[in-house]
A and B are shown apart, each in its own frame.
Chain A
Amino acid sequence: MRRRLRYWLHHGERQRLLWEEMQFHIESMTEDLVAHGMCEQEARAAAHRKFGNMTQQSEQARSTWIACWLSDLAQDLRHSFRGMRRDAGFAAFTILIAGLGIGASSTVFSVVNALLLRPLPFRDPARLVWLTNGGDFTAIQTEHYSDLRELNRSFSDLAGWCAYYFPGDHELTGAGEPERLTSVPVTQNFFEVLGVQPMLGRQFTTGESQGKYSAPPAMLLTYNFWRSRFASDPNVVGRRLTLNNTPATVVGVLPASFDFASVFAPGTPVDIFVPWPLTDKAKPSGNTMKVVGRLKPGATVRGAQAELAMLAKQLESRHPERNPIAPRLALLEQHVSGPVSPALFVLACAVGVVMLIVCANLSNLQLARLGARQKEIALRSALGAGHFRLLRQMLTESVALSCCGALLGLVLAEAGTREVAHLHAFNLPLLESVRIDGSALLFTFLAAVASGVVFGLLPALRASSISLREGLQDAGRGSSGGKRHAWVRDGLVVAELAFACILLVGAGLLIRSFLRVLDVNPGFQPERAAALRIDPSFRLSSLARQNSFIDDVLNRVRAVPGMVAAGITDALPLRDDRAWAVAAAGQIYAKGHQPESFVRVVTDGYFAAAGIPLRFGREFTEQDRASSERVVVVNETFARTLWPGQNPVGQMITTDKGRRVVGVVADVSHAALEAASGLEMYLPMRQTGDYADMQLVVRTALPPDRLAAGIRTVLRPIDPNLPVREFVTFQDLVDKAVSPRRFLVMLLAGFAGFALVLASLGIYAVISFSVSQRTQEIGIRMALGASASDLQRRIVLRTLGLALAGLALGMAASRALGSALDSLLFGITTGDPVTYIEVGTLLILVAAIAGYIPAWKASRIDPIIALRCN
């Protein structure tokens, strides 16, 4: 084998030597013949005759060390590249289109691969299970967690993290610029359960996990934070930093492969992890913990589910004082990628359809070119190229073209995946791990070969069936088409149009849904509103101290020129959530039927700053303080739910030691624009200390960014350590909430646009080809008195005929496939007539234009020239 390889590597040299050897043979034979009395010239000719075709002989001899197919392949490839050079325009066009198609396919494959196919970046992810409490995203109480962890037999361990962390919860000081960090409190065994080893240092110890919730003694850095803040300094482990004014030690750095945010909280990068002391009584209470578990070998999700349900029932009866618990299990992989899989499925189908259009288009192009190459092919077969050999040569040509396209496609896919991986604002899991890897390369290669075969097959079959006589006859091009041939090309164009129609309908439905979503009134006015986190770096020891801080901040900020309104809240719409059970005074609710309401703690001015309209009663004022009556403002849904048909203003709720409703405001979208907002209540910040963070919300006359510097300047005297990294506009919040939908719409619209361009090119090519083939006929018609407009009408009508056929097929298919989009639509149905009408009009219009250009050219044919040209 090694020898064979060596021979092959030096095959040029060996070929030359073999040639020389055979030359010597002929010479010797000639000499012998001369010795027998033949004249020299005759002898040489006889020797050559006897020896036969030297090239063929050497090829045969060579075939002992080079497989025959390999040298044929090399020959075909050489021929293909020569052909490409000769017909550079065609080759460039083919490579460009195939490249765009393959690039799009590889990009989508990489996204699908990262989000659905590739295992999660944890040890043995197939045994990781996500535990929720009833609803999909509901957390459980830590006390329940501790008991379940102890009692269950299905899991090797359960771990949890605090669901109530917010961007910028912890403030890092004492190491350069103060900075607000996003930190996630986790149970001590969290990384062990996931199977993640710190890259540097160690995990949390039990001791570190028994401190105070408000003052974590240790922290683990995420890889990205380590790189950006500490410049990848390996000596950072063991350093003492100041976190929320208390010292904390860096105990380790997590590996780059562990990306908590991308799996569990897409769109919110995490900086550090801190231990979560479950023993601390002062930790947040209620349903605060999200839980993952690792199944024991052999345990199933179903079995674990049954066991936990039984345990939960026992716990509920033993601890009636706790929140209800209804554990629901799902494999972590399903939980993470489940919600995005319908969208990905649609994307994958769309890109498949794009590839089909690309193939149809290129196939058509090849067929058109075949007319011009007919003589070449006939000549080849006359010289002895067999049917199969011709077929293979044509296929080699198209695969070579599509592989060149794949190279271009890889460049595009590399750029595309890089772009996708950096869409930080997008709320999609695992997006950052999208990249071109080995499997994507393999996919690209397979896609290139497959598409080459698919678009080359029809022309190749056609080429190898060209009859010798027909091909070599110099009958000119007029007769070469033939009925069957034209039918194939028309069919390809109709298929292209039908596919384009399917994509356009899909994209149209999603775009219209997207516009509907953007039209949803979020309950606040995002324009010119922005939020800045301003928690003071010192402790607000009393309500009085807190209120003077609030007064100070608001007075200073409101004095900034260009400020329209300013207020403070603890939770931004579409981002933060916290819910309490609520009850109207004097009402009894059955267990499990008590309404739950989102809680926001706000100051006066917040409603004006966020642009939330007041419906009844009054807003908070500066007078709603600790000393005055405890009040609450609720939203319309809250009022409707608790006091149907009554005036809510003046009513009492028993929640939070009893509060009187003084006003009703509009509903604000809370979880997503597509979902109803639910119950909401607003507590005056000056009456409570029960909130986690302070977000200054401003409404400005100018774009908020312009005022950022001014706001920082006026706040500096109050708290010189105020970190000012984060300045979130409300528009950002809305954008982020719609980002997954935007992602899908952008990609699908891009595909549909590409498909439309390809389909119109296809029509144009077919029509202008048929026109050029019928130049003579057209000349005769015109000479006999056909008017230009008559001619144009005939050609455009033929185009429209094709377009209508494609449209009808495409619409029918769209209607049949529509249900795949069902879960992705909002506000419209899959049969939305407006979309269908718009797509139909667009396609007909484009087809008419694509057909009119050749028609116009045809009508300018000079009959004399046309008739003379043969």
Chain B
Amino acid sequence: MGSEKPKVDLLPGTLDMLVLKILMRGRFHGYAIAQLIQQLSDDLLRVEEGSLYPALQRLELNGWIDGEWGLSANNRRARFYNLTPAGRKHLSQESVSYRQVTGAVARIMGFA
């Protein structure tokens, strides 16, 4: 195995948004979601399993995602998640406010 990249902690509240965003691409199971987040961030962001599953439970409880059982690529039973219309709406709200916040932070830090 190659050398471990330094772990970057997610900003609080962003995990939910990231999960929702990933699910815009289609239906995935938990492991795939974690993998995708890691790959898309060039291994910079790592999702702790300890926070992923509570997040999935929370999102499902709020009716933003829908879980259903299906078969994985290697024919194993896995739980796949779908984005619901409510989740789509929530995601767009979240990304707007996230952009505002990061923009503000960036302006203060002089990045922009």
Which A residues lie at the B interface, using CB under 8 A? Answer: 3-4, 7, 17-18, 20-22, 24-25, 27-29, 31, 36, 38, 50-52, 56-58, 60-65
* Interface status of B5 (Cβ within 8 A of chain A): no
Contacting residue for B76 out of A27, A51, A60, CB 8 A: A27
Chain B minimum-CB-distance residue to A33: B1
B75 nearest CB across to chain A (Å): 12
Main secondary structure of the interface of B (DSSP, over half): helix
Complex Cα gap A627–B31 (Å)? 120
User: Chain A residues near B78 (CB, 8 Å)?
Assistant: 21, 24
When the two chains form their complex, are residues A22 and B61 in contact, meaning their CB atoms are under 8 A apart? no
B53 nearest CB across to chain A (Å): 4
When the two chains form their complex, are residues A22 and B49 in contact, meaning their CB atoms are under 8 A apart? yes
Complex Cα gap A25–B29 (Å)? 9
A45 nearest CB across to chain B (Å): 14
User: Chain B residues near A20 (CB, 8 Å)?
Assistant: 77, 79
Contacting residue for B49 out of A7, A27, A51, A62, CB 8 A: A51
* Interface status of B63 (Cβ within 8 A of chain A): yes
Complex Cα gap A51–B50 (Å)? 7
Contacting residue for A52 out of B50, B57, B74, CB 8 A: B50
Chain B minimum-CB-distance residue to A54: B49
A60 nearest CB across to chain B (Å): 5
A793 nearest CB across to chain B (Å): 66
When the two chains form their complex, are residues A22 and B53 in contact, meaning their CB atoms are under 8 A apart? yes
Task: Pick the most buried of A3, A7, A61, A65: most chain B CB atoms within 10 A of its CB.
Answer: A61
Complex Cα gap A57–B63 (Å)? 22
When the two chains form their complex, are residues A28 and B63 in contact, meaning their CB atoms are under 8 A apart? no
When the two chains form their complex, are residues B53 and A28 in contact, meaning their CB atoms are under 8 A apart? no
Task: Pick the most buried of B29, B34, B50, B63: most chain A CB atoms within 10 A of its CB.
Answer: B50
B47 nearest CB across to chain A (Å): 11
When the two chains form their complex, are residues A50 and B61 in contact, meaning their CB atoms are under 8 A apart? no
Chain B minimum-CB-distance residue to A31: B74
Task: Pick the most buried of A31, A50, A64, A65: most chain B CB atoms within 10 A of its CB.
Answer: A64
| 8 A-B pairs with the lowest CB-CB distances in the bound complex, closest first | A61-B53, A64-B57, A28-B31, A64-B58, A61-B54, A25-B31, A21-B79, A24-B78
Complex Cα gap A50–B30 (Å)? 15
Complex Cα gap A38–B1 (Å)? 9
Main secondary structure of the interface of A (DSSP, over half): helix
B88 nearest CB across to chain A (Å): 19
User: Chain A residues near B53 (CB, 8 Å)?
Assistant: 18, 21-22, 57-58, 60-61
Within 8 A of A (CB), among B28-71: 29-31, 34, 49-50, 53-54, 56-58, 61, 63
List, sorted by A's number, 26 A–B pairs whose CB atoms are closer than 8 Å. Answer: A3-B61, A7-B61, A20-B77, A21-B79, A22-B30, A24-B29, A24-B31, A25-B30, A25-B31, A25-B49, A28-B72, A31-B74, A36-B1, A51-B49, A52-B49, A56-B50, A57-B49, A57-B50, A58-B53, A61-B53, A61-B57, A64-B54, A64-B58, A64-B61, A65-B57, A65-B61
Complex Cα gap A3–B72 (Å)? 27
User: Chain A residues near B72 (CB, 8 Å)?
Assistant: 24, 28
A380 nearest CB across to chain B (Å): 24
B22 nearest CB across to chain A (Å): 15
Contacts A25-B31, A64-B54 given; 12 further ones with Cβ under 8 A?
A17-B79, A21-B29, A21-B30, A21-B78, A22-B53, A36-B1, A38-B1, A51-B49, A60-B50, A60-B53, A60-B54, A62-B57
Chain A minimum-CB-distance residue to B63: A3
Task: Pick the most buried of B54, B61, B74, B77: most chain A CB atoms within 10 A of its CB.
Answer: B54
Task: Pick the most buried of A28, A50, A65: most chain B CB atoms within 10 A of its CB.
Answer: A28
User: Chain B residues near A50 (CB, 8 Å)?
Assistant: 49
User: Chain A residues near B49 (CB, 8 Å)?
Assistant: 22, 25, 50-52, 57
Complex Cα gap A454–B31 (Å)? 50
Complex Cα gap A393–B72 (Å)? 43
Chain B minimum-CB-distance residue to A7: B61
B2 nearest CB across to chain A (Å): 9
User: Chain A residues near B77 (CB, 8 Å)?
Assistant: 20, 24
